Structure formats: structure tokens, C-alpha cells
Chains A and B, each alone.
Chain A
Amino acid sequence: MRKYLKYCLLFLPSLLFFGGCATHTRYVESTGPRTIVTTDINIQDFSYAAEEMINSLLASGALDKTQIQPAMLAISRIVNNTTQQIDTDLLTKKIRVALNQSGKALTTTTIGIGGIAEDPLAKGIQQEKEFYADKKEPQRMPDFTLSGKIIEKRDRQDEVRQVSYSFQLSLTNNDGLAVWEDEKEISKQSKRGVIGW
């Protein structure tokens, strides 16, 4: 009995150590309040920025000023001026979905920067359809283009580090005028840990 007890006492620290290393993974709502916050741009930051941008855009009534409703929107360049590699579709897709649901604008997937379509198959079908229909009138051009920039700014004071992200968007009509513009800033502070950031 004493021998078993000795073995138990011998392995107990290792059991406790490795038991403590077990990872607990769970699902969280990606739009919920329990997501991880880091100084990088997190998934929820795109949601916050998109939410504010959509509110602002719909409230402005800028999309209502076209002859044909819903307005046609093309996505232009969203410049990533941050130190991180991010896919700007995380921002633009939310805006596109919301505008589509609102019934105020539809996004073209056959017109893109440098003539590159987002959906090449859709562009091919569109061209073929126009060819067989012997269509002479020009293709409907987008009423608006959406462009923007994401900027990062880092500051430090003593042990406190601050990183700010500025989400800037512009809606330009086909006369080249920015009919709606907005900016959403998100700032995060963290205290420096023992190692690095």
C-alpha cells in the first residue's frame, strides 16, 4: 500500500502539470462580446467598422440619388496601410451584404480594377449574352464606386501601448464626386508584458 502511495505521490506533480496544459476550445459568436481582443485588427473590428459605415451610408441617402433604383455599385481599391496582412473583403463584404439586403444598391462582380472581374465566369456569360442578343446599347455602368483605406498608428507612453486603426471609406459617383465619406477609428491600449508587446 505504501509502495502505491509512493508512486502516486511521484506522478502527481506530472499529472497536475500536464493536466493544466490541456487546451479548452469552444465556439464563440464571432459578433459576440466574448471574442478575443488583441492589438491586431480582430474580426470584430471589421464588424464594428462596417456597422458604423453602413449606418452612416444608409442615413445619408446618397444611394437614393440615382435614376435607376437600386443603384449599381463597383468595389474599387481598399488600401491596406497597416503592418498586418489583412483581406479587405472582411470589411467590404459586410457592407455589400448590408447594401444588398437594404435594397438600395447592388454590387457588380463583372467590373473590377484594371478590367479584372471579381467573377470571370459571370463576365463571360454577360459578354456572350450581349453577343447573341446583338446588343448595341452600352452596358450599364456603375453609379458608384466604393474605395477606402485602413491606416494603422501606434503610440507608446511608458508601459502603455496604443494602436489605432482608421477605417476610411468614400463613395464616388460616376461624375467623380465623393458623395459620401466616413471614417471610423478604433483604438486599443495594452500594457507591455514581460516579453515583447
Chain B
Amino acid sequence: MMRNIFYKPLLSAYILSGIALFSSCTTVNTVERETPVGTKQIIADKRVITDSTLNKKVSIVGLNEGVTNGGFLQVQIEVLNRKNSLQDFSYRFEWFDMNGMLVDTPTSVWIPRQIEGQETMTITAVAPAAGVKDFRVKFIENVRKN
């Protein structure tokens, strides 16, 4: 008898939380050419992961590098949301010259983005000057209160 009193509300709570959890999940299906024509200039990268939760939400798949017509370094980062729900994050590019000095530019700002569940997103940035040789990208979870 006692077991029934606790069992029913507990079961209902589990079911309701399950519905709430799975109803918020919206994932992205994708389709693309089986053998891509374009060849990516994938570059080796060094990662410093301090927030493993964010790393699951915004997982870096690869870095692609190129040069624009004007001789500017162009970087594309492919990120994947390994979670099944929409995630907020911000990123910021920092650019460095030949001597490893940070190039201060108005384009170096934290950019907020949203990524759907299991979605792959490409982030593109162009170096602010022709003398820029290196870059660093920072990712952070949304710290603003909604």
C-alpha cells in the first residue's frame, strides 16, 4: 500500500520529465556529395580544453585554411554540436603577426552563435591585414542571463 502511494507520483514525474527532455530535442539531418570536389586545406591544430561540457556542445571537427584574392589569411572552422538540443556559444578570433604579436582590430569581438542539435556549422574569418600569419580562436558558453 505504502509502495503504491510513492510509486505512482514518482512514475508520473519520470514520464513527464522524459517528455519534457525529449520534446526539446531537435536535431539536424544533413545530406552532401559523397565525394567532395573541393579539397580542404586541413591544418593540424593544438587545443586547450578547459570546459569539457562546452566541448561536447561545440566540438571542433577541423580547421581549413586558405588565402583570399588580396593575400589575406582566411580560416574556416567546422564545429559540431554533439548534443541533441540547441546550444548557445560565442567565439572570438585573435590574430598574430610574423613576430607573434597580437594584432588589435575592431573585428576581434566575441560573436554569439546558436547551433542546433547534431548540426555542423562553419565559422569563417578573414585576417585583418596581409601581415597576419597566425590565429587563435576562443570559444565560450553563453554567459549572459536570458
Contact = CB atoms under 8 A, between A and B. Distances in A.
Given A34-B143, A55-B124, A47 B69 contact: no
Contacts of A44: 109-110
Interface residues of A, number: 27
A59 B127 CA distance: 9
A50 B142 CA distance: 21
B96 interface: no
A55 B125 contact: yes
Contacts of A115: none
Interface string A46-78: 011011001100111101100000000000000
A59 B124 CA distance: 10
B109 A54 contact: no
B107 A98 contact: yes
A54 B112 contact: no
A97 interface: yes
A64 B126 contact: no
Give the interface residue-count category, chain B: 20 to 34
B129 A51 contact: no
B42 interface: no
> Interface of chain B, helix or strand or loop or mixed?
loop
Interface in B72-87: 72, 74
Given A51-B111, A102-B72, A97 B130 contact: no
Nearest to A37: B144
B107 A64 contact: no
A58 B127 CA distance: 9
B54 to A, nearest CB: 12
Given A33-B90, A37-B144, A61 B109 contact: no
B70 interface: yes
Given A50-B107, A51-B107, A98-B105, A33 B129 contact: no
A31 B68 contact: no
Given A55-B126, A59-B126, A98-B128, A31 B70 contact: no
Given A97-B106, A98-B107, A33 B74 contact: no
Interface in A87-122: 94, 97-98, 101-104
Interface string B45-74: 000000000000000000000001110101
A59 B144 CA distance: 31
Contacts of A94: 106-107
A180 to B, nearest CB: 12
B127 to A, nearest CB: 8
Given A97-B105, A98-B106, 6 more contacts: A32-B110, A33-B110, A48-B109, A51-B109, A55-B124, A101-B105
5 contacts: A32-B110, A44-B110, A51-B109, A59-B68, A59-B69
Q: List 4 tightest A-B contacts by C-beta distance, closest first.
A: A61-B69, A31-B109, A94-B106, A47-B109
